[in-house]
Structure 1
């Protein structure tokens, strides 16, 4: 079937679950032109995998005509992989991550209610990345404001100039603050990941302040927090709405890692990712010209029945290792160890510290929102508050 047969847009399917729409595309038009995204949406697992993996033929490009090359050099990928390797971050994980989880839960536990996104999921990963890379708690409002603006940009159509302008303004503020932090770390090194980054080299040369700002502000503070935020919301929603799942996890907390892995497949936090063609290509029989925008549908690929048995079933016994939520190849998310750790610790802590967890039936009910970055929200929780002495 030709690409012209798809006349709808992914944007017109939201809010709400888009999986039926993606199923139809994957079966009938696996490479479809999206008029609002102004690019081709790729929906079959094998096609999505190949486009993500083949860095020679498909470059990173976030929006049509945009040059998005920050991740491209292999030296930069090596920097990310070393900086965020499990060996490098593991000594910092338990103390920093658990302490931040406890602070956020402590603030809400006495009240008996929590809104997952605002009170917990948005703050946790952003705060952790900020602390890892030299920011103070006084910087957290700036960090969250920047993240919200970039989040809005990634979920907007390519012609949303007002949203793009706000994102650029917030980015300038964030980068200006990071430049101050970098200067202070150069003068007064401390034992954190920012100091390690300052001491690293690429192609034998030290990183410039501009390169470090780009790595921290544009890459790690967004990619290292947005995915975890959305994943926490999605996991909590599924945990409390799929019959029997919450009780099963309460009874056997050892199932939490398997639950997190299946939640990542079931509701990937980044549902479409972007590429552009470096040459004329053909995908599933559809010819596509050089310099054309592509969007790979991770949400569709993770539910391809040719790869996953009963993909619409949330299965805690599903074998690990097939989903492509964190991408593949050169640009696989270097922080996937950290993301999984934060998710597992978050779910385990919510289960153990907030008993009788449930969605408030009288509050605004969750919707599945976003386009590229997707999460269930708002999720208003009720739980049994600790009894006073």
Structure 2
């Protein structure tokens, strides 16, 4: 057990591997814990995590120290996201962009490399969500590899300690490259409008004004590409891993597709793609009896909240038929993930494609085994598999 009274260990010391024993220790013995590497208060109990996420009057969204990207959103910007990523707006593109891109990637996966073998993270989970976002916003297939490189560079920065300037420089390099390409796409679309989400975004107003070029780039490249594709990528990888490693799950899903939605929700609870997120205290406050000073940096442990026995019975058991309890993997309150509907659909489509296209799918035990990697954005990787060709 961690000696939480004078602990010097950090969440950063729990990777690779599953951090749940460490989180349980904190949740039971020191639910508000100053993490020496994160340099902020680490919140682990479900009710506390929920309150910090939900109550915007007490706690605001604030980037962690050293964060170079603007995480502050106006009320109008939140509304913009919800207009852009809802069921009504995205549904027309399911059959024109999203499903065709998934089929293209699956065709490429089956055709590439050794027959009957694949690496699901590299060949499917990593490119699929980023490619969809790029295509929805008017980019071409030739642009998509750079989108994935940028998204991965930025994810590496999020997962690095705040003083890792090399990770920051790499993310900034790829951001500049993708920003410039998006400027070209915006200019071309102004000259020749197309039916896509970029065209819709060009009609949106904030504070009574149409979005500027810089606003369009912020929303598409820096916000939605990162938040919208990174979580979906890692959710696909985690769901595939659990489907192939938990006894009987693959067979149950193969024989009864109606179980897929419940399986995916349990996967999101059990292996959230984002393990922590950040907030700050608006005033002097208190959480679970621990004094919190105004402007203190706070980190909500989504992974810990999703395993809190006060909310979830037998929380360390993966239960497709789980009843009761709501995971916080997509946050709650004013910053509930606006792309949750899109992400859930991409996740469902990807799992269905694995069941449909890769018969007798199983992990390849001759290859490197999967590990739960990184710190903030987490997933099982690599995912070497075999299937009957």
Q: Same fold (TM over 0.5)?
A: yes
Task: Give distance in 1, aligned partners of 2:4 and 2:368.
Answer: 39
Task: Give distance in 2, aligned partners of 1:345 and 1:127.
Answer: 14
Deviations 1:50-96 (A, max 9, x none): 11112232222222265765442110000000110111111111332
Residue 125 of structure 2: which of 108, 116, 121 is its match? 121
Residue 147 of structure 2: which of 143, 150, 173 is its match? 143
Report the secondary structure of 1:99's partner residue.
helix
Partner of 1:15: 16
Partner of 2:192: 188
Deviations 1:181-217 (A, max 9, x none): 1111122111110011011101211111111111111
Whether 1:299 and 2:278 are equivalent positions in the alignment is: no
Whether 1:363 and 2:367 are equivalent positions in the alignment is: yes
Whether 1:322 and 2:329 are equivalent positions in the alignment is: no
Whether 1:72 and 2:82 are equivalent positions in the alignment is: no
Task: Give distance in 2, aligned partners of 1:335 and 1:254.
Answer: 23
Task: Give distance in 2, aligned partners of 1:160 and 1:37.
Answer: 12
The Cα of 1:301 is off from its aligned counterpart by 0.3
Whether 1:133 and 2:134 are equivalent positions in the alignment is: no
Quote the RMSD (CA, aligned, Å).
1.6
Deviations 1:270-315 (A, max 9, x none): 0101112222111111112122211110000011000011111111
Partner of 1:372: 376
Partner of 1:53: 54
Task: Give distance in 2, aligned partners of 1:320 and 1:305.
Answer: 12
Task: Give distance in 2, aligned partners of 1:67 and 1:373.
Answer: 17
Given the superposition, is the C-alpha separation of residues 254 and 95 from structure 1 closer, same or farther in structure 2, using an over 3 Å criterion? farther
The Cα of 1:98 is off from its aligned counterpart by 1.7
Given the superposition, is the C-alpha separation of residues 12 and 218 from structure 1 closer, same or farther in structure 2, using an over 3 Å criterion? same
The answer to whether the 8 A contact 1:44-1:304 is kept is yes
Structure 2 runs not aligned, ≥5 long? none
Partner of 1:106: 107
The Cα of 1:108 is off from its aligned counterpart by 2.4
Residue 356 of structure 2: which of 347, 352, 365 is its match? 352
The Cα of 1:3 is off from its aligned counterpart by 7.3
- TM-score, length-normalised on structure 2? 0.96
The answer to whether the 8 A contact 1:112-1:382 is kept is yes
**In the comparison of the two structures, how many residue pairs are matched?**
385
The answer to whether the 8 A contact 1:38-1:158 is kept is no
Task: Give distance in 1, aligned partners of 2:138 and 2:364.
Answer: 37
Given the superposition, is the C-alpha separation of residues 363 and 213 from structure 1 closer, same or farther in structure 2, using an over 3 Å criterion? same
- TM-score, length-normalised on structure 1? 0.96
Report the secondary structure of 1:119's partner residue.
helix
Whether 1:173 and 2:177 are equivalent positions in the alignment is: yes
Given the superposition, is the C-alpha separation of residues 23 and 3 from structure 1 closer, same or farther in structure 2, using an over 3 Å criterion? closer
Report the secondary structure of 1:199's partner residue.
coil
Alignment of 1:241-280 (within 5 A): 241-280=245-284
Task: Give distance in 2, aligned partners of 1:3 and 1:57.
Answer: 26
